[in-house]
Amino acid sequence: MPVFEHITSCPSTSARLGRVHTHHGAFDTPAFMPVGTQATVKSVCPEELVDMGAQIILGNTYHLYLRPGHKLIERLGGLHRFMAWSGPILTDSGGFQVFSLAQFRKIQEKGAVFRSHIDGSLHELTPELAIEIQESLGSDIMMCLDTCIPYPASEKEVRESTALTTRWAKRCLDARTRPELLLFPIVQGGMDRNLRARHTEELCSMGFDGIALGGLSVGEPKEMLFKMIEVSRPLIPAKYPVYVMGVGTPEDIVNGVARGVDMFDCVMPTRNARNGMLFTSTGHIVIKNACHAEDPAPVDEKCQCYTCRNFSRAYLRHLFIARELLAYRLNTIHNLHFYLNLMKQIRKALAEAKFAEFYRDFMSAQAQK
């Protein structure tokens, strides 16, 4: 069985319907992966994620290495048993988290030296250790350690960072001991079209199981993000699932699907929920705003999530203003349901050969908000 099973495509766009096969089962694409950084998708249970339609979730190498430790998780039966999630899990390599530490890290040929954000202890994350951690966790999809750079960055910085990412990808491939766990490298190249193209082709020639596009959503203009996807995507063989990391808004996801992307993740639905911003079919709302104080309507009349079936905007505003823990749970349930339902709608449109119509209607609705 190939890693990626192609089902159908949209003839007028690059969107495609498929299925990715992993050690812990298959998931349908295009897919959105709820982010469970520290072995939990914040405030919701695995059973609730399944009920919402989640088929794969994401964990993080950096955070689980620091706390509670990958060897402890391995002794307790691996990440799936540890967090009671039976479906596929993808783990980020930790490269972006090390990048975000800024003044607390130093990138060297051997690896990334950094101080823990928890206790200030000194660590070195190498490509070999990144693979060791992910194999101990039992990640169904492991990510190669990469070097992420900010936007904007100098030509020299982009060139050197991209070359180091390639060398680290080769070391990750060599360090792999569990072939049943898939391994994706991460395309870098800043916003340089030629460098992005060369790096994509180079990584595709190395024998990985899929391809991720990284270094995006780091402050660049939105149109530049889409241009970088358009540079890399046609160069990736059809047999590979394509994952764009850290993207994004509902509009970003629909645009990404139209450009041939299969997999997405983003903290936006969970983080925004905790900050009181809720996604709806007519645009987002900020639940703490006074206009919701006496509103008996649900967050979204078209939504069938547990939150919208049972609670009013007025009640959700009360919970949020009072800082009740239930506010974060109910908001998160709604936002995750919104994202996962969006993916269901996309897959349905592709299966019925109506994606071009779906795309047109969706973008038209966004323009009117």
Is 265 one of the annotated active-site residues of the chain?
A: yes
Helix (H, G, I), strand (E, B) or coil at 262: coil
* Whole-angstrom distance, CA of residue 175 vs CA of residue 132: 8
DSSP helix/strand/coil, 243: strand
Q: Single out the catalytic residue among 92, 192, 252, 262.
A: 92
Cβ atoms 29, 244 nearer than 8 A:
no
User: Among the options 146, 252, 262, 265, which is catalytic?
Assistant: 265
Backbone angles phi, psi at 307, to 5 degrees: -65, -50
- Give the 3-state DSSP-derived string for 190-203, with helices as H, strands as E and coil as C: CCCHHHHHHHHHHH
Instruction: Using CB atoms within 10 Å of the CB of residue 142, give its burial: 0 to 12 exposed, 13 to 18 middle, 19+ buried.
Output: buried
| Long-range contacts (CB closer than 8 Å, 24 or more residues apart) made by 274-279 | 274/42, 274/43, 274/328, 274/331, 274/332, 276/320, 276/327, 276/331, 278/316, 278/331, 278/334, 278/335, 278/338, 279/250, 279/334, 279/335, 279/338, 279/339
Say whether 174 is catalytic. no
Amino acid at 318: H
Q: Which residues are catalytic?
A: 92, 265
